[in-house]
Amino acid sequence: MKEFSNREELQRSVRELVRRQDGDAKVELIRMALELEDHAKVWLLEVLDGRGDPSSRCIARALSASNDRFVRDAATVVMGRVGVEGDLECLSLRLVDRLWVVRASAASSIGEIGASEGLELLRCRWPKERQADVRRYIAVALSEGSGEIVVPVLEEWLTSEKADEARIGILFGLVRNRQARHVAELLRLLQSEDTHVCALAITAFLELREFLVLDPSAHSELVGSLSVLSLHPVGRVNSLAESALEEYLG
């Protein structure tokens, strides 16, 4: 097999094989995916991200079972971009992966595929998931579904969830599905002393911008909180706050 000296050279070769899409090219692409070093497999997956052809799905499914955590996570992410309902069984295995970041990626990918079977996988996984950040991803992914289906589930989860990281995902899903009364708690979480929670709350408001219509009082409170947070000593928090201010004052 040809040796590649760097990422750019490999990705040029992959793009050429993808462009050709004849039988020989597909065979070569799959062989390359299986024989490359693990770090190079991640580079290959970057090229396939977003391509819905059968060979891309085949490669993503195969690499999602890799022993290398970076390959496994990258392939799981790509499956959300290129996968179809028939790939949910494979993603369900990653939803119980030993690494929480892979489980989180699996939840997001299942949400992107969006089939009813996938939503049921997420609903069933929730009570078994111990990592609060993964529960957040599950809630956000579930919110990709129909509001009539997901709102009662999210409301139920909210009553029992104690971890702020996970509550942010539930609140995001509810507000996204036009349950505006939950904006108040998201605003409260902007005041969290936990910088991770604070950053997640800002990110939620950024990602909700297209769904959210705030009354004047809530808008004023949000802008005031973001103005304070834009001076936060933690760089991630202040940069997110500045971005959110631009969105809500624009």
| pLDDT tens for each residue of 111-131 | 999 888 999 999 999 999 999
Maximum CA extent, the chain: 64
Q: What per-residue confidence (pLDDT) applies to 236?
A: 94
- Are the beta carbons of 32 and 61 closer than 8 angstroms? no
The one-letter amino acid code at 154 reads: L
Q: Can you give the C-alpha Rg of the chain in angstroms? A: 20
Determine the pLDDT at residue 228.
Answer: 96
Q: So what's the pLDDT on residue 133?
A: 97
pLDDT at position 6, please? Answer: 81
CA distances in angstroms from 131 to 73, 96, 99, 164, listed in the order given: 17, 11, 10, 12
Residue 2 banded pLDDT, cuts 50, 70, 90: low
Which tokens belong to 117? Answer: 């079977």
* pLDDT score of 71 more than 60: yes
Handedness of CA 123, 78, 75, 57 (dihedral sign): positive
Look at residue 248 and tell me whether its pLDDT is greater than 60.
yes
Banded model confidence at residue 207, pLDDT cuts 50, 70, 90: very high
Q: Is the pLDDT of residue 53 over 80?
A: no
The CA distance from 216 to 192, in Å, is 23
* Model confidence at 226: pLDDT above 90: yes
Q: What is the rounded CA–CA span in Å between residue 60 and residue 64?
A: 6
Under the banding of pLDDT at 50, 70 and 90, the label for residue 52 is low
Pick the more confident residue, 19 or 171. Answer: 171
Mean pLDDT of the chain: 91
Confidence of residue 54 (pLDDT cuts 50, 70, 90): confident
Over range 12-18, report the average pLDDT.
82
CB-facing half-sphere around the CA of 16: CA atoms within 13 A: 8
CB 198 within 8 A of CB 217: no
The residue with greater pLDDT, 8 or 228, is 228
Task: Give how far Cα 198 sits from Cα of 83, 90, 130, 169, Å.
Answer: 33, 34, 21, 13
Mean pLDDT confidence for 35-56: 82
* Surface-to-core class of residue 103, CB atoms within 10 Å of its CB (0-12 exposed, 13-18 middle, 19+ buried): buried
For residue 6, what are its two tokens? 């760097």
Name which of 51-65, 66-80, 92-106, 182-196 the model is least confident about.
Answer: 51-65
Is the pLDDT at 3 greater than 90? The verdict is no
Q: Between 15 and 138, where is the model more confident?
A: 138
Instruction: For residue 68, count other CB atoms closer than 10 A to its CB.
Output: 15
Long-range contacts of 36-41 (CB under 8 A, 24+ apart): 36/10, 38/66, 38/68, 38/70, 38/71, 39/70, 40/4, 40/7, 40/10, 41/66, 41/68, 41/71, 41/74
Please give the share of the chain, as a percent, with pLDDT higher than 70. Answer: 97
Using 50, 70 and 90 to split pLDDT, how confident is the model at 211?
confident
